[in-house]
Amino acid sequence: MKVLVLTGAGISAESGIPTFRGDDGLWEGHPIEDVATPDGFRRNPRLVQEFYNARRRALLDAAIAPNPAHVALAEFERQHDDDFLLVTQNIDDLHQRAGSRKVIAMHGELLKARCEQTGDLFDWREDLDCQTPHPHRPELIGTLRPHVVWFGEMPFGLEEIDSFARRADLFLAIGTSAVVYPAAGIVQSTGPDCRRVEINLGDTPQSDRFDETIRGKASTEVPKFLE
């Protein structure tokens, strides 16, 4: 059985990482176009770097850890191996910390930095700013940015995701508001015989496309569903 899982911010909410939209969401107080677009970064790189520095520091806080939903998915992967793909929109590393191995982080990874000039990728746990030098090319200053996907940029792994979705027997979407494309459209790439299940606190604009909608918290509903 081929199983495709898509996760969003809701799966990490109970680990203490705020979601984007809704009350107390990350976008509250941050116009999206200022902090999550290439234009916003060009206009005010300091603001954008600080937004991601704060999130990186929060992610590295000792209190942040995978919750039972992340753990259940990692355990499920161990049992299903080759026929399992986990696609996350999250830039945190909680799936990896829980033990998931085959993960496509389609919107990038907060603990990586990328050089805008060379494309070099680095594991990164420090703050970034306009004076940060490239680790191997000290003449390049301020060229590093968070390795994340902003609006208007191309998400990662789309071909592999689409190809897997077309062959999937089970598609499970967990904790995503289903408003950001192309992630929100993955459900439409699944075939007619695929069983589509959505786990979320509430309805989303894509709920009608699912065969089952499970309403509740990811940390309780995901382990229950996968057991």
Binding site for ligand BJW (CB under 6 A): 8-10, 13-14, 19-21, 25, 36, 89, 91, 107, 148-155, 175-177, 179-182, 200-202, 204, 217-218
The smaller minimum CB distance to ligand BJW, of residues 82 and 151, is found at 151
Does the annotation count 95 as an active-site position? no
H or E element, residue 167: helix 158-167
How many whole angstroms separate alpha carbon 218 and alpha carbon 42?
37
User: Is 120 flagged in the annotation as binding?
Assistant: no
The smaller minimum CB distance to ligand BJW, of residues 168 and 183, is found at 183
Q: Which position among 107, 134, 136, 147 bears the catalytic label? A: 107
| Contacts (Cβ under 8 Å, ≥6 apart) of 191 | 166, 167, 168
The DSSP 8-state label assigned to residue 215 in this structure reads E
Structure tokens given for 19: 């979601």
User: Is 12 flagged in the annotation as binding?
Assistant: yes
The smaller minimum CB distance to ligand BJW, of residues 64 and 180, is found at 180
User: Is 111 flagged in the annotation as binding?
Assistant: no
The smaller minimum CB distance to ligand BJW, of residues 8 and 66, is found at 8
Q: How far is the CB of 166 from ligand BJW (least distance, A)?
A: 19
b/e sequence 59-90, b meaning 16+ C-beta within 10 Å: beeeebebbbbbbbbbbbbeebeeebbbbbbb
Q: How far is the CB of 41 from ligand BJW (least distance, A)?
A: 11
How far apart, in Å, do the first and last CA atoms of the chain sit?
15
User: Is 163 flagged in the annotation as binding?
Assistant: no
Structure tokens given for 144: 């590093």
Q: Which residue is nearest to ligand BJW (CB)?
A: 10
Would you list which residues are annotated within the binding site for substrate? Answer: 52, 55
Task: Kindly list the catalytic residues.
Answer: 107
